Structure 1
Amino acid sequence: METLIVQPKNKKQLLAVEAVLQALNVTFKKEKGYSPEFINEIAKGEEDVKNGRLTRVKDVQNIWKSIL
């Protein structure tokens, strides 16, 4: 079958969707999204790259020699 991705906007909608699925005997699983802290870290990293705050590796073949 197909997979549906449902994105309720609040707890009330979530409970209603779960109730309907249970009433129809549809199996489902809950998955939590990423934490706000993680999302902020990713956004910060993307901003760093955009502003040139990064380290470029020129010699990928010998990368381990440069850190040892």
Structure 2
Amino acid sequence: MEITIKIDKRSKQAKAFYEYLKTLPFVELGEPRYNKDTEIAIKEAKSRKTSKISLEDFRKELYS
């Protein structure tokens, strides 16, 4: 069985709880490698939900 718990680590209590969870042998903590937007972009790229764009158009979009 797998359970997902979201912990806001900004409070002392949450940090202490998180540190406690790390000590338990049966708990596996999976933290995202990147922020939410980057994770979504990676999933889209892997599933080929992307579009091609020329370098010139990309630069125009980036700097406008």
Range into which the TM-score falls when normalised by the shorter chain: 0.3 to 0.5
**TM (normalized to structure 1)?**
0.33
